[in-house]
Amino acid sequence: MKKFVSICFFSSFILGFAQQKKISFVKEFDYQQVEKKSVSEGIKIYASKSNEFLSKIIVNSSPAYFFTDILGTSSVNLDARNYLASSDSDLSDFDKNGYTFSAKKLTTKENILGIPCTHYLINYMADDKTPTQNLKVCIDEKSTYNNINILNGLLARYLGIAEIKNANLKGFILKAGLENKYDTEYFVLSSIQDTKDVVFFDHKKAIADLQKKQDSIKRTQKEVYIEKQLPNDSVKAPMYGYYNNYYVPEYISEYKKSVINKENLAINNISSELMWKGLPNHCRNIDKNLPEFKNSELKGHLKNYVGQVCDMYLKRSPNSSVNVKETLDQIRYEVLYFNEIQGKLDQADQKKLNNYLQNLD
């Protein structure tokens, strides 16, 4: 994860984000995935002293993030300023079956990075008695961190489980794999580091907002079901159109209050070379190609405008964490600025500005 932005940066964004909680992480845990003697990047977990966790998993060369605390696990997006937002992937339908967690302590032990841990067999049994495979895990029972909730939360999303009951085992998982492949295919803790990374997130509010969206979907599904009973297709069509666009957040006009920050660009955090292919060429070297102006403010505004437009192209990636509303607000803020300085720039600056914009690919 790119080095998190310092708290000084966030002080300029108090307006509109005061409700967000600052979460300070103190430990960074890296897990490797071992599969048939090959080793690859697995899971990175950031932990706070209060057992709040941000998990990063690489999926199809792009990062996926999950936040876990006492309220549960939520899929989240992480923007360039380290603000978390709930992901619409959590709107997927979940299995109505409940699952019951069970754990059996074994007599065997293991050492991971010099830390002793005890083996457990973990199983998730569906209420309809559908069998599932046992997981074998090695747990540090003395750790002050409890990441078993992360395992439960991630499995719940992978399996589409709405509820896991009796999940009361505590401890820190150092190694995990299917019981019958535990020795050859597994995730294992590979490093522990101190960190001062921070994020900003109101998990309780995010859960409430997500519930509102889910309630809206359910109401729409019910209305669609009713409309499907009607014979007139012309009556059905508007309802289906509404269903396909079931939710748009309420618009709040904030773009005139925007504050420019050089770090507030998602393109600064692109981790895959493939993603650059979806962006205009000028997005890769914005700083290098910007002209020099006599007006001391113009270059910063131009960089922000071009960078925010590049971010909108990046949003086409399904794994992008670009906040569309904030990005559009920034673009409108800069368009307003350019309109206001029309006629105020000296002739040389105006010519450089026009030439630069006209020659963007």
**What pLDDT is recorded for position 26?**
96
- What's the pLDDT score for residue 111? 96
Q: Which helix (H) or strand (E) holds 149?
A: helix 148-159
Please give the Cα distance from 174 to 188 (Å, whole number): 6
Task: Judge whether 91 and 111 are in contact, CB under 8 Å.
Answer: no
Confidence at residue 72, expressed as pLDDT on a 0 to 100 scale: 85
136 or 234: which leads in pLDDT: 136
Q: Which residue has the higher pLDDT, 285 or 9?
A: 285
Q: What is the pLDDT of residue 219?
A: 67
Q: Phi/psi at 301 (nearest 5 deg)?
A: -65, -40
Cβ-based burial of 23 (10 A; exposed 0-12, middle 13-18, buried ≥19):
buried
With left for phi above 0 and alpha for psi between -120 and 50, is residue 16 left, alpha or beta? left
Fold of 7-200: outer membrane lipoprotein receptor (LolB), chain A (2.50.20)
Run of H or E residues at 22: strand 22-24
Q: What pLDDT, in 10s, does the model give residues 211-225?
A: 777 666 666 656 655
What integer pLDDT is reported at residue 224 of this predicted model?
55
d(CA 193, CA 353): 46
pLDDT at 163 over 60: yes
Q: Where are the domains of the chain?
A: 7-200, 203-244, 255-358
Q: Is the pTM value of this prediction over 0.75?
A: no
Look at residue 314 and tell me whether its pLDDT is greater than 80.
yes
**Which two tokens mark 234?**
């012309």
Give the pLDDT of residue 162.
60
Query: Which token pair is 319?
Result: 């794994």
Query: Where is pLDDT greater, at 255 or 299?
Result: 299
Report the pLDDT value the prediction gives residue 116, as an integer from 0 to 100. 96
Strand-pair category, 84-86 with 38-47:
unpaired
Average pLDDT over residues 122-136: 80
How much is the mean pLDDT over the chain?
A: 79
Q: Examine the pLDDT at 310 and tell me if it is beyond 50.
A: yes
By the 10 Å C-beta count (0-12 exposed, 13-18 middle, 19+ buried), 237 is classed as exposed
Question: What does the pLDDT read at residue 328?
Answer: 87
- Per-residue b/e over 301-315, b at no fewer than 16 CB within 10 Å? bbbbbbbbbbbbbbe
- pLDDT digit string (tens) for 165-209? 667 789 999 999 999 999 999 999 999 999 999 999 888 888 887
How far apart, in whole angstroms, are the C-alpha atoms of residue 223 and residue 236? Answer: 10
Q: Mean pLDDT, to the nearest integer, of 12-34?
A: 74
5 pLDDT above the threshold of 50: no
CA distances from 256 to 11, 15, 55, 81 (A): 18, 12, 35, 19
Measuring CA to CA, which residue among 210, 170, 205, 172 is closest to residue 189?
Answer: 172
